[in-house]
Structure 1
């Protein structure tokens, strides 16, 4: 199976962003690459759904860390500018706050001054311009403008060192920790890793709304401000200093670009092809019965998923890269004795949240909403505690995307496209979604509450009457359609024990030639992280073939 000149026959499992990116990079290195995807379309969590002229992105919708995208495209001989029509969003996003007053603002802080009683019900726009955000913070809390400048300076410095030393490494040695710029910052980086984002923010800002804005990035990481390390304040260097971008055509178009680039670099793409078993043989190089590799990859067994299909075949391979959900890859595709991360390992891990997705086609315009809008409840600790404890928050914080504010192609003329995400427990038992209110009762009830929340908080009293298309998705859909661990929408949460070098590794310890990419492994959750995970596999394979 070994090709000439050091090339290998490689099979990549999973056609999401990590799979497409990994396959394209390895094919560009000269390897013979096949990619198998169980579903009929590529994109994974970054999928699309269309009905009656509306086109919805069913997953990621924030284009952050543009330097990571630029680096990835550069590895394939192109650029983001050549492949995407990126638009700057301003406001980057709008934040709505629960209108009812409460004793503490839900962040453990003292009550807001009486003079701010009316203002605290008004939304806050986060600008693409840093100076504007400094002014808005100052207007909400005297002194917060200067505090934000210091906060963002720390965020930028931390982001820069993370990008240079920690994100593009598989932590196979201690060298990332020995660089001079890391050593110089050790006195600051260690406390950032050990303390929570919630406390880090609270020491610098009193106003509950500002704390929520700065703590919200933890949700992007599948975590909460009280569990995410304060190191992740670096994420504010993205949305508060450089704004947020949007690729015209949506994130489905981004996936189309990756499919084309994979094919252009020689990848053979197989949709409707489900991996059912990772095949191995005894590794003759393994000695002893202790820990370590006991086998090496020989290929993958796949099943035809086309209607009326069901036949199985074997794709031989020197190297396998699974970008499917890591829990599924380990506990379903491998026998117990060859699992690096068996079920007992997952029992000790923390999942990110599940989610109820609500896709709405709405008649008329919705200027009350920005392209991205966040709806924050006052009692945040209760909101996050409910999710962690397995119950649906009431009321629940939510995220709303209105891509039709920027992209006319996602909705018919005279209509708007709305995508609502309500974080809920990662529990497939909550049920499935459906179209036109036909999902399971718990999912539809959550959707109804979210629609009413947007209607009331954003001042759109007739929102329900204007809905012409509706579809919901629940945790059971994520579990069944994507093999998502516990039905989560993101993957393992970025708690301290699941971040950086503590996160699951990207190479099997039991099977030689088996690698992993995607949100479950290094460096973590999010589209940019998945692109980095693809490059990490490319780096490891290059090192293995030297």
Structure 2
């Protein structure tokens, strides 16, 4: 479109949608974001009641350099946009059958000492493990995470080929086995295997390359943006709108429009959406869907132009869903850290219940608790605490949805009640249930209904070997020119940092950039479109 500003429509105003819009607008497009819900944020939403403020999704700020790189692409920095606090201890771990929890601190040396105290010889083993994790992390960020996989040529360079003898075992051996060969104590194995849950997977299903995650929490440290993750969403939204992005909420997209040329090749012409009771059309040169990829492909596209039809999804492994429990609690809860993990002794059974054919929910079960009021007093009224509880469950909307003050589906409320009982017992808070003044639950049916999440999952497809890197799927439609994807259900994967990278990968696609490294900072508009 010589002499004209190219236009783009972004479907969804979660973090991937907002980030994609900000980057494309900065690169010279005129961008409109269409969001089906009343507010932005998607999975990274917020909920407020009676002076309590809850993040309803992501709660771990890891890979800080990815966040900072994104902000620097837009000519700013994380330090300028966010008030970041390093959380110490990074997290506390409660183990079934053990009265004393373990604390993962904000520095490597303390964690090495913890491992050595727990099991003699494990300190040096952790030091070597973290060295390997750091190397694997650097390999991932320089060779894999920032690649669109549009071309495989960058992977056949001499320096990359020299890495193959080391890389192959990391891809073919599970994280569970990789850890077990180096550590004897079951509790230490659980600490090192748990990052698989961040990837929507189980240690037995996750390639050991992902031991790189331990570099993040045991060495790099865990951070928190004051104001919660809603503050991060607000910052990205603000940057997008300052650049001219238009964001329209309560505007669900009903279809992606396509046309065919004389040779039968399809391209996108825009989208159809609903707003204020009317069906509307928005034409665009580019459409980027950051909605769940399954919803995009099977609900928004005509069957003949689906790159990932239902038959493709039938062969995929979903990550877990979750029951989320948001609790406002009267009084202090010092036995809980900002982040607390609760691990059952037989957690293999827990993973089997989530990913096995006879999916079910155990009792007790491994779960996670975030107490943001330990770091951020603005999330709860004075004299109260804010708890976010995540109970992993099978990806099955049939488990039901949540509600406020116990009015969710009975199965979801029963899971919440059992989680409260377990936390009360393990963390030594006998009157926890009696001190709850605000309660809301969210279940798999809510993820399916509100976010169009495949099978009601909380995260997206699990990061198994067959669902990682280029095997995860492409971020560009194979059948519709001008249609791209971003978000946790496409490359590079699950989590806020991955969603920021996925936004950058859309820009790389549009530029024809097949490099495996991040884009230069800051973004510069194409010369022809600068004013």
For the aligned pair, the TM-score class normalised by the smaller chain equals over 0.9
Name the SS of the counterpart of 1:383 in structure 2.
Answer: helix
Q: Which residue of 1 aligns with 2:313?
A: 346
Q: Residues of 1 paired with 2:440 and 2:463: CA distance?
A: 30
Q: Residues of 2 paired with 1:130 and 1:179: CA distance?
A: 34
**Unaligned runs of at least 5 residues, structure 1:** 100-119, 287-293
Matching of residues 323-472 of structure 1 within 5 Å? 323-389=290-356, 390-472=359-441
Is 1:303 the counterpart of 2:274? The answer is yes
Name the SS of the counterpart of 1:4 in structure 2.
Answer: coil
Is 1:36 the counterpart of 2:34? The answer is yes
Q: Residues of 2 paired with 1:144 and 1:185: CA distance?
A: 27
Is 1:511 the counterpart of 2:511? The answer is no
Q: Residues of 2 paired with 1:373 and 1:526: CA distance?
A: 19
Q: Which residue of 1 aligns with 2:22?
A: 24
**Unaligned runs of at least 5 residues, structure 2:** 514-525
Q: Following TM superposition, by how much is the alpha carbon of 1:461 offset from its aligned partner in structure 2, in angstroms? A: 0.6
Q: Following TM superposition, by how much is the alpha carbon of 1:177 offset from its aligned partner in structure 2, in angstroms? A: 2.0
Q: Following TM superposition, by how much is the alpha carbon of 1:30 offset from its aligned partner in structure 2, in angstroms? A: 1.0
Matching of residues 69-468 of structure 1 within 5 Å? 69-99=67-97, 120-286=98-264, 294-304=265-275, 309-389=276-356, 390-468=359-437
Instruction: Please provide the CA RMSD for this pair.
Output: 1.2
Asked whether the equivalents of residues 218 and 228 of structure 1 are also in contact (C-alpha less than 8 Å), the reply is: yes
Q: Which residue of 1 aligns with 2:518?
A: none
Q: Residues of 2 paired with 1:126 and 1:4: CA distance?
A: 56
Q: Are residues 65 and 26 of structure 1, via their aligned partners in 2, closer, same or farther at CA, if it must alter by over 3 Å? A: same
Asked whether the equivalents of residues 393 and 424 of structure 1 are also in contact (C-alpha less than 8 Å), the reply is: no
Q: Are residues 272 and 203 of structure 1, via their aligned partners in 2, closer, same or farther at CA, if it must alter by over 3 Å? A: same
Q: Following TM superposition, by how much is the alpha carbon of 1:176 offset from its aligned partner in structure 2, in angstroms? A: 3.6
Q: Following TM superposition, by how much is the alpha carbon of 1:284 offset from its aligned partner in structure 2, in angstroms? A: 3.4
Name the SS of the counterpart of 1:494 in structure 2.
Answer: coil
Q: Following TM superposition, by how much is the alpha carbon of 1:359 offset from its aligned partner in structure 2, in angstroms? A: 0.3
CA deviation string 1:146-191 (max 9, x = no partner): 0000000000001001101110001122234234443232111111
Asked whether the equivalents of residues 387 and 393 of structure 1 are also in contact (C-alpha less than 8 Å), the reply is: no
Q: Following TM superposition, by how much is the alpha carbon of 1:527 offset from its aligned partner in structure 2, in angstroms? A: 0.2
Q: Residues of 2 paired with 1:171 and 1:129: CA distance?
A: 35
Name the SS of the counterpart of 2:448 in structure 1.
Answer: helix
Is 1:486 the counterpart of 2:484? The answer is no
**Alignment length, in residue pairs?**
513
Q: Which residue of 1 aligns with 2:522?
A: none
Asked whether the equivalents of residues 426 and 487 of structure 1 are also in contact (C-alpha less than 8 Å), the reply is: yes
Q: Residues of 2 paired with 1:408 and 1:166: CA distance?
A: 39
Q: Residues of 2 paired with 1:285 and 1:279: CA distance?
A: 18
Q: Following TM superposition, by how much is the alpha carbon of 1:222 offset from its aligned partner in structure 2, in angstroms? A: 0.2
Q: Which residue of 2 aligns with 1:502?
A: 471
Q: Residues of 2 paired with 1:358 and 1:45: CA distance?
A: 15
Q: Which residue of 2 aligns with 1:473?
A: 442
